[in-house]
């Protein structure tokens, strides 16, 4: 098994299992336990770890970008309600603030790369804790805000994406400095991003069983096309790093 998926929502983990079985997502195991009850040591043998996996937007987007199924990464779109401007804005005081569980897994698993996603409200409520925890675990981070509408989606869905990597590695050029992320009139211009109104993982929600569950899952899901864009940035940056490995490169710290 190359991948570990975790989600407690019955509809989501059913979708994950079905699409793993069909080959649409990387092979792996789906764990439906509450992440707070999972011993992080159990996850050390997996190439990919997808926490709060939802309906599989992260692994699907990675595949769209050409990311190999056995290429190490940890992803997490942890619950946004504590930091959302539409919620009670309790931040770390909200019982749904589960970032510490992601940090706990990162400290034990020590992934080569961490890719996180959350609402923009995280930048003003919780980002300090997140960056502090990553730094304490020995990781540097870069972040940027992308909108699903920039990729042709019929909705805005503005989200912050955070990329973290061990700070003992040589400096990375992820393009977050606006080098690789090329914009034209505010829209990413690197690729053409075909869009359908609902991801192919689910199909149309109208008139079918569990419609409410499907709509909720869609509302919480990370947009695969945006993940694919970020993943391609990372793959390009890795190529640059590989070219520099024979040169005198300054360490990040």
CA 71, distance to chain mean position in Å, is 15
**Known active-site residue 252:** no
- Distance from C-alpha of 47 to C-alpha of 240, rounded to nearest angstrom: 23
Number of H helices, E strands in the chain: 6, 9
User: Quick one: residue 110, left, alpha or beta (phi over 0 = left, psi -120 to 50 = alpha)?
Assistant: left
> What Rg value do the Cα atoms of the chain yield, rounded?
18
Report residue 138 CA to chain centroid gap.
19
C-alpha distances in Å from residue 248, one per residue of 7, 146, 241, 244: 43, 33, 12, 8
Contact 145, 158 (CB under 8 A): yes
Both tokens of 233, joined, read 């940035």
Of 12, 80, 171, 252, which residue is the catalytic one? 80
CA atoms within 13 A on the CB side of 204: 3
Catalytic residues: 80
């Amino acid at each position: 098994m190359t991948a570990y998926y975790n989600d407690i929502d019955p509809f989501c983990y059913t979708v994950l299992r079905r699409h793993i079985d069909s080959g649409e997502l990387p092979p792996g195991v789906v764990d439906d336990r509450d992440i707070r009850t999972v011993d992080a040591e159990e996850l050390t043998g997996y190439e990919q770890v997808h926490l709060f996996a939802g309906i599989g937007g992260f692994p699907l987007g990675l595949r769209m970008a050409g990311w190999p199924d056995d290429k190490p990464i940890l992803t997490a779109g942890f619950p946004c309600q504590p930091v959302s401007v539409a919620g009670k804005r309790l931040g770390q005081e909200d019982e749904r603030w589960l970032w510490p569980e992601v940090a706990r897994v990162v400290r034990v698993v020590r992934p080569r790369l961490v890719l996180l996603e959350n609402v923009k409200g995280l930048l003003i409520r919780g980002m300090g804790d997140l960056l502090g925890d990553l730094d304490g675990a020995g990781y540097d981070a870069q972040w940027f805000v992308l909108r699903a509408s920039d990729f042709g989606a019929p909705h805005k869905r503005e989200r912050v994406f955070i990329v973290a990597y061990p700070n003992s590695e040589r400096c990375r050029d992820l393009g977050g400095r606006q080098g690789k992320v090329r914009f034209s009139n505010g829209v990413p211009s690197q690729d053409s991003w075909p869009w359908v109104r609902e991801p192919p993982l689910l199909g149309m929600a109208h008139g079918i069983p569990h419609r409410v569950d499907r709509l909720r899952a869609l509302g919480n899901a990370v947009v695969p096309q945006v993940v694919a864009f970020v993943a391609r940035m990372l793959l390009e940056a890795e190529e640059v790093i590989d070219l520099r490995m024979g040169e005198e490169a300054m360490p990040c710290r």
